[in-house]
């Protein structure tokens, strides 16, 4: 039995058989790969579905990146909107007895935290002036007229036209 195993012809035969098997496996893999490509083209109506899937995956990744950029822009807007004018109150009145209509006005322009400005336009028969007073949290360091106070009160009672929702996401 040892003589049979030590025989060089058997070793060479086994070696050649292994090479033939490896070549056969390689040819079979190439055959299967060609059939796979034809199958994928058949499914893809003449186009390689594998290539189409890769293209679509790339497009989806691009869209995800674009959505992330839009979400970041939205968050920036969301954070900046608190300082925008959100509440407006206006009172028209007659400042002078010699003027026939309510041509004078007090206009309050406030943000979410009732910060902003109140404008008072006084119209007279021979002149017209506009005065501005800063408002911080609904009050001013300057003396306010009754009309200015009323305009601020009207503005403060209005609901914000924008309600901030924290941790809101555009896309998930």
Domain match, 10 and 72 both: no
Q: How many CB atoms lie within 10 A of CB 49?
A: 15
Distance between CA atoms of residues 118 and 135, nearest Å: 7
Same domain, 18 and 71: no
Q: Same structural domain for residues 16 and 60?
A: no
The answer to whether residue 164 sits within a structural domain is no
- β-partners of residue 132 are 119
The whole-number pLDDT of residue 97 equals 75
Query: Do 111 and 91 belong to one domain?
Result: yes
Same-domain status, 129 and 67: no
Residue 162 in any domain: the answer is no
Residue 5's domain comprises 1-47
pLDDT band, very low/low/confident/very high, at 88 (cuts 50, 70, 90): very high
Count Cα neighbours of 131 within 13 Å in the Cβ-side half-sphere: 13
- Evaluate whether residue 166 is within a structural domain: no
Mean pLDDT for the stretch of residues 121-136: 91
Query: Residue 134 — very low, low, confident or very high, per pLDDT cuts 50/70/90?
Result: very high
Q: Is the pLDDT of residue 77 over 70?
A: yes
If one counts the domains in the chain, the total is: 3
- 21 and 63 co-located in one domain: no
pLDDT band at 163 (very low <50, low <70, confident <90, very high): very low
| pLDDT, mean of residues 122-128 | 86
**Residue 165 placed within a domain:** no
Any domain includes 96: yes
The verdict on 107 and 150 lying in the same domain is yes
The confidence score (pLDDT) of residue 23 equals 95
Specify the pLDDT at position 166: 40
Question: 104 near 122, Cβ under 8 Å?
Answer: yes
Residue 168, in any domain of the structure: no
**Residues 6+ away with beta carbon under 8 Å from 120:** 104, 105, 106, 107, 130, 131, 132, 133, 145, 147, 148
- 171 part of a folded domain: no
Place of tokens 């408002």: 135
Mark whether 150 and 96 lie in a shared domain. yes
4-62 pLDDT, tens digit each: 556 777 788 889 999 999 999 999 999 999 888 788 777 767 677 778 888 999 999 99
H or E element that contains 92 = strand 87-93
- 96 and 71 belong to one structural domain: no
Contact, 93 vs 147, CB < 8 A? yes
| Strand pairing report for 104-110 and 87-93 | antiparallel
Tell me what the mean pLDDT of segment 134-161 comes to: 89
Do 76 and 14 share a structural domain?
A: no
Same domain for 102 and 42? no
Average model confidence (pLDDT) across the chain:
84
Lay out the sheet containing 128-135: strands in order across. 87-93, 104-110, 116-123, 128-135
């Amino acid at each position: 039995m040892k003589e049979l195993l030590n025989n060089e012809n058997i070793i060479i035969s086994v070696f050649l058989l292994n090479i033939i098997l490896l070549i056969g496996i390689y040819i079979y893999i190439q055959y299967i790969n060609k059939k796979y490509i034809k199958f994928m083209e058949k499914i893809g109506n003449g186009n390689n579905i594998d290539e189409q899937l890769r293209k679509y995956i790339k497009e989806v990744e691009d869209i995800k990146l674009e959505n992330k950029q839009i979400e970041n822009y939205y968050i920036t807007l969301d954070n900046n909107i608190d300082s925008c004018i959100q509440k407006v109150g206006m009172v028209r009145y007659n400042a002078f007895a010699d003027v026939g209509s309510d041509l004078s006005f007090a206009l309050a322009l406030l943000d979410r935290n009732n910060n902003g400005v109140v404008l008072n336009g006084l119209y007279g028969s021979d002149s017209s002036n506009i005065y501005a007073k800063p408002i911080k949290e609904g009050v001013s360091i300057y003396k306010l007229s009754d009309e200015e106070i009323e305009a601020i009160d009207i503005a403060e009672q209005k609901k914000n036209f924008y309600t901030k929702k924290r941790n809101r996401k555009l896309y998930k």
